[in-house]
Amino acid sequence: MMRSLKGLRPPIKSQVKSEPERNIDKKVQLFKARLLFLRQWKVYVLPRFRHKTSTARREAKGMRREGEMNKRKLRRFALCAMLLALCASADAQQTGKVARIGFLDSSTASGMAVLVDAFRQELRKLGWIEGKNFTIEYRFAEGKPERAPELAAELVRLKVDLIVTTAAPQALAAKGATTTIPIVMVNVGDPVAFGLVASLARPGGNVTGNASLAPELNTKRLEILKDAVPKLARVGLLLAPGTSITRDLQLKELRPAAQALKLKLEEIETQIDAKGLERAFQTAKQKQVGAIMTTAGFRFLTERKRIVELAVKYRLPAIYSQKEYVDEGGLMFYGVDSTDLYRRAAVYVDKILKGTKPADLPVQQATKFEFVINLKAAKQIGLTIPPDLLARANKVIK
């Protein structure tokens, strides 16, 4: 048994492993087949099921994150759209409302037509169309200032959104009638002195508008008259009947100014109508005045054409507080640009109707002043205007 074993040659290595090699070849073939399958899977199937790979998972996670961000953006967009819609709705409601403006004046509709037109034109520039988004309730006292409280109360009963007043008496009447409806003053000499506002910078309450500095300007008018008329000694001052704060403030300025200029101030009270004015000019001639002027304000403005004609008739040099007198043929004008004040009042009306409180709008002081000389009128009364005075004028009508 041992011999037989010893006689056997050791098996060749290749022969011993020949059987397993066949097994390996089968495994290799199987591996190659699987590899081909995987390649086919990668090429044809993987694009449909990328989420099954690690890269796809990362991409999917990024997509989810991006999706969340998009959702947040969408929510923000929806919120903004809702807010915009609400604002648009509120704006539409405001736009759809027709604002009612009360207009209170002591004179007449015809006398104030030019200035009222300037006011309406400025509102039109600011987007307000009369009859579409605003209306004006006019109340004219027809030269009877005592009617101001009654007319102001009437506007309050109409529940207007705002009241425009042309001068101090009307502003005081409106303030006495309401503490809630906003009031815009067009032309008040000294609103602090009248008790209409606490101060120019911080008016407080429901009143704001324009301050025209009228009392101080009267002093300047006296100076111009003295420069225009050689050897002038007496000046006639036309006064509306009755007493008022406006009149008292102007006299307080004019009396000492006349004394300083060595002028005699003849105060002539008159009714503001044809007969009254005729008598006033006759009185002026009797008192031997060398020139004439009126107190500043709108009461005389309605009769400006008649006053200008009487000044020519009695050959009296005159200076006026409103440019409209010169437009009617008057000799001289020095003062604020009234048209500008009405335009500026319209700007404040626009701001208030859009939500600004009157207390937050400082009272505006007049900034535009004009000096106009009408040489045609000078020639009519035989007056020669000194060259140096002509040089000071902003406008000379030839």
Looking at residue 318, which CATH number applies to its domain? 3.40.50.2300
Domain end: 175, 210, 245, which one?
210
One domain for residues 240 and 156: no
Asked if residue 274 belongs to a domain, the reply is yes
User: Do residue 315 and residue 385 come from a single domain?
Assistant: yes
Same domain flag for 231 and 200: no
Beta strands in 63-195 (DSSP E): 99-105, 134-140, 162-165, 183-188
Each residue's pLDDT tens digit, 167-193: 888 999 999 999 999 999 999 988 998
| The token pair that represents 50 in the structure block | 């990328």
The pTM for the full model equals: 0.67
User: What tens digit of pLDDT does each residue of 317-326 get?
Assistant: 999 998 889 9
The answer on 227 and 117 residing in a single domain is no
67 in any annotated domain: no
> Residue with structure tokens 């101080």?
216
Give 94-114 pLDDT, tens digit per residue: 457 899 999 999 888 988 899
Is there a single domain that holds both residue 204 and residue 218? no
Q: Which of 182, 210, 238 is the last residue of a domain?
A: 210
**Same domain? 291 vs 321:** yes
Which one, of 337, 334, 327, lies nearest residue 304 by Cα?
Answer: 327
pLDDT at 165: 97
In a domain, 245, yes or no: yes
**What is the dihedral sign for C-alpha 142, 254, 198, 195?**
negative
How many domains are there within the chain?
2
For residues 199 and 330, membership in a common domain is answered with no
CB-based burial label for 193 (10 Å; 0-12, 13-18, 19+) = middle
137 and 159 assigned to the same domain: yes
Same domain, 284 and 137: no
My answer on whether 190 and 220 are in the same domain is: no
Residues of the domain holding 196: 99-210
Which segments of the chain have a pLDDT < 50? Answer: 1-24, 26-28, 30-31, 34-38, 40-53, 85-86, 88-94
**Residues 134 and 205 reside in one and the same domain:** yes
pLDDT given at position 11 = 46
Choose the final residue of a domain: 210, 229, 262. 210
Residues contacting 85, CB < 8 A, separation 6+ = none
Asked if residue 268 and residue 142 are part of one domain, the reply reads no
